[in-house]
Amino acid sequence: MSIQILAPEVAAKIAAGEVVERPANVVKELLENSLDAGATEIRIEAREGGRRLLRVIDNGHGIPEAELLLAFERHATSKLNSVDDLNHIATFGFRGEALYSIGAVSQVTLTSRHASQPFGATVRNAGGVLQPPTRAGAPVGTTVSVEHIFFNVPARQKFLRTAATESGQIAAIIQHYALAYPERRFSFVNDGRLVFQSTGSGDLLDVLTMIYGREHAQQMVSLTGAGRRNTAALDNLALDVDFGAGAAAQPETSGAGDWVRVSGYVSLPSLTRANRSAIDLFVNRRYIEDRSLTHAVVQAYHTLLPVGRYPVAVVFVEIDPAQVDVNVHPQKTQVRFVEERRVFAAVQKAVRRTIISMAPIPDMGIDETGRLVRPEGESGALPAGWATRRDVILGAGAQPHLDLIVPPASPTQHLPSFQSNAAQPPTPETAPPLPEPPRAATPLVSSSPKLPPLRVVGQVGAMYVIAEGPEGLFLIDQHAAHERILYEQYMLQRASGARGVARQQLLAPLTLHVGARLTGQVAAHLDALQHIGFDIEAFGGDAFLVRAVPAVLAGEDPQRVLEEIVATLGDRRNLVGEGMEAQLVKMVCKRAAIKAGQLLSDIEMQELVRQLEQCQSPRTCPHGRPTMIQLSANELEKAFGRI
């Protein structure tokens, strides 16, 4: 095939693919144009997730009638004059590709009135075909309506998600800009319903409250003035994290003025998420995605958060535009820093210093009963799993001066579902019924042979059960084994028909905020969550009301389990090649299973092994990890030199 120049319409559609992947990208580009135009009020409307219609209305300075057609030309922009301007970009737009790309794959109607003109004008662009502008009555500002996105590129339409998912992505984009510009008023109307509106008060905390709710916003602290308590002790605490080779020695300021300034809000250790999606980063008020800076925020919480938990953060980095390159990708969400390590260190130090100063380790003491106590009014965060309550021991009428700290229950107090109380054998009237083992009437596919009869010998490391069988010695991972037992019992309950999965009703409904980006995903899978035992319903915005959880999660934190499930729903890659409900069941069983480090009584270990013997696939947990290793009698004899 000979070399040829692509037709203009083909080249336009290819170029548009780099800028516009989904309706949310259209909203992002139009929002940035509105902000560059000085708009103080911006309204976004969407129908059918943006497929049918996207409309952005602003009160900026507008576009002169003579420049309306020019605005749709490729590389036409008012933001740059020369190549030198690329070295210190201070606006969102500068490539001149947004309106050109949007017009190439949709039907666009642009109405604008410049502040210097007494009338407005309208121009239409259908798939790159422009019509002459006509005069129109309009207030000062610009209105852009984008209809039937990808109408001329059917292959791209196939990759769009459901309307709820696309609306969630649009809402996330709008919330990012509301965080970056709290002094501007943003409104989002989805299918005729107002779903988000910022106050425009200029207070970032107001926007955080709108997005995360008042309860969570109150658990976030400001980074502003993080360096005021510049004591030696605080600096040492702030620098006890690995900044990377050579980074810790770099100052966050250079010369007389600030080299980089870090501000924003970060969560106390009491507020966490199951993934990094709640860490929002902005450079010169531009929302960016940067793995290095995200890692800097996470590392600032070193030793302060449980494994697998991540903070909520809104971090702003203000830096000389000459020190950052935003011309990396057409979507402009990636940047490069001239001195990346110094920016990394500045972010990490600011977050670490704030968290250490605002959430100090509480002073603990021991009262006359042997309980750990904390002085009343002390605001330090308690260790994970501890609860505070009053009047546990004090008599009636006593004036308490201490909060009694109740430690988390010992492992034997939260017994697994196969438990028996070894210390006080239950009577037949009080003994809880043991869960039914899997019945042969509803067989599961077996991936490995059944186990031989085993005799429990003991436990090692509070992690492994030692058992003896005809074929030698078995070391059983108690967590993996219990996961397998719960999983097969769970699947049998689901297949039983009438009663289905046993549920535990919550005393008070739990309000779960999932964030705008994941609202659509969760709403689309409410049926799957109902089938595995959750009683959950939409509660407006990004909130869902949870009334019941699977019975196997009794004693667990339902909010943390649901946050992990929501994170999995957001990351669809985890569900490839596997049924949705099966994956969710595995997550529930993992949380409900007994943990490594939990001491078991002889009766509990015997019951664990008995139920594992009855499983159809006893040698692996639901995730494929082995539940046991075997040492044959012959291998033991070789190890001791008997052979």
Strand partners, 389: 404
Of 182-191, 478-487, 516-525, which one has max mean pLDDT? 182-191
Burial of 490 (0-12, 13-18, 19+ CB in 10 A): buried
Question: Helix, strand or coil for residue 511?
Answer: strand
Helix (H) or strand (E) holding 473: strand 472-477
> How high is the pLDDT of residue 374?
44
Confidence of residue 12 (pLDDT cuts 50, 70, 90): low
Residue with the bigger pLDDT between 578 and 194: it is: 194
Q: Supply the angle between the helices 163-180 and 23-36 in degrees, to the nearest 10.
A: 20
Has residue 626 got a pLDDT over 90? no
In this structure, the strands spanning 53-58 and 141-147 are: antiparallel
Q: Enumerate residues 6+ apart whose C-beta is below 8 A from 8.
A: none
In this structure, the strands spanning 279-283 and 313-319 are: parallel
Tens digit of each residue's pLDDT (9 = 90 or more) over 282-329: 999 999 888 999 999 999 988 778 778 899 999 999 998 888 887 676
Has residue 110 got a pLDDT over 90? yes
Has residue 140 got a pLDDT over 90? yes
Torsion of CA 626, 631, 635, 639, to 10 degrees: 100
Helix (H) or strand (E) holding 197: strand 193-197
50: left (phi over 0), alpha (psi -120 to 50) or beta: left
Averaged pLDDT, 544-563:
82
Averaged pLDDT, 591-616:
88
Distance CA 168, CA 85 (A): 35
Q: Which amino acid makes up residue 441?
A: A
Report the percentage of the chain scoring pLDDT > 70. Answer: 73
Structural tokens at position 370 = 């042997």
The 8-class DSSP code of residue 242 comes to -
Asked whether 315 and 224 are in contact (CB, 8 A), the reply is: no
Burial of 524 (0-12, 13-18, 19+ CB in 10 A): middle
Asked whether 197 and 186 are in contact (CB, 8 A), the reply is: yes
Is the four-CA dihedral 444, 449, 450, 451 of positive or negative sign?
A: negative
Farthest-apart Cα atoms in the chain, separation:
103
Asked whether 155 and 133 are in contact (CB, 8 A), the reply is: no
Burial of 471 (0-12, 13-18, 19+ CB in 10 A): middle
Domains of the chain are 8-197 (3.30.565.10), 219-358 (3.30.230.10), 449-643 (3.30.1540.20)
> How high is the pLDDT of residue 569?
73
> How high is the pLDDT of residue 84?
59
What's the pTM value of the predicted model, to 2 decimals? Answer: 0.63
Q: Enumerate residues 6+ apart whose C-beta is below 8 A from 569.
A: 518, 521, 522, 525
Structural tokens at position 394 = 């004090």
Question: Helix, strand or coil for residue 549?
Answer: strand
The 8-class DSSP code of residue 435 comes to P
Has residue 388 got a pLDDT over 60? no
Asked whether 529 and 565 are in contact (CB, 8 A), the reply is: yes
Is the four-CA dihedral 240, 244, 250, 251 of positive or negative sign?
A: negative
Name the residue with tokens 């750990």. 372
Best CA proximity match to 103, nearest among 74, 136, 77? 74
Averaged pLDDT, 393-404:
32
Q: Which amino acid makes up residue 429?
A: E
Helix (H) or strand (E) holding 214: helix 214-217
Confidence of residue 127 (pLDDT cuts 50, 70, 90): confident
> How high is the pLDDT of residue 280?
95
The 8-class DSSP code of residue 541 comes to T
Residue with the bigger pLDDT between 639 and 401: it is: 639
> How high is the pLDDT of residue 78?
65
Distance CA 272, CA 291 (A): 18
Name the residue with tokens 């008042």. 214
> How high is the pLDDT of residue 153?
86
Question: Helix, strand or coil for residue 619?
Answer: coil
The 8-class DSSP code of residue 409 comes to P
Question: Helix, strand or coil for residue 628?
Answer: strand
Name the residue with tokens 């509803």. 442
Tens digit of each residue's pLDDT (9 = 90 or more) over 221-257: 999 744 333 333 334 333 333 333 333 333 343 333 3
Helix (H) or strand (E) holding 168: helix 163-180
Has residue 71 got a pLDDT over 50? yes
Terminal CA-CA length for the chain: 73
> How high is the pLDDT of residue 631?
86
> How high is the pLDDT of residue 327?
67
Distance CA 507, CA 302 (A): 35
> How high is the pLDDT of residue 258?
55
Averaged pLDDT, 398-414:
34
Name the residue with tokens 């852009």. 144
Distance CA 627, CA 447 (A): 13
Tens digit of each residue's pLDDT (9 = 90 or more) over 563-595: 888 877 766 544 433 466 777 788 888 888 888
Averaged pLDDT, 111-137:
93
Strand partners, 451: none
Tens digit of each residue's pLDDT (9 = 90 or more) over 76-97: 776 555 555 556 566 665 666 7
Confidence of residue 464 (pLDDT cuts 50, 70, 90): very high
Q: How far is CA 294 from CA 270, 289, 468, in A?
A: 19, 8, 49
Q: Which amino acid makes up residue 53?
A: L
In 3-state terms the chain splits into helix, strand, coil percentages (rounded to 5) of 35, 25, 45
Calculate the average pLDDT of the chain. 76
Angle at 408 between CA 406 and CA 412, to 5 degrees: 125
Question: Helix, strand or coil for residue 297?
Answer: helix
Best CA proximity match to 367, nearest among 397, 396, 401? 401
Has residue 436 got a pLDDT over 50? no
Asked whether 609 and 602 are in contact (CB, 8 A), the reply is: no
Burial of 124 (0-12, 13-18, 19+ CB in 10 A): middle
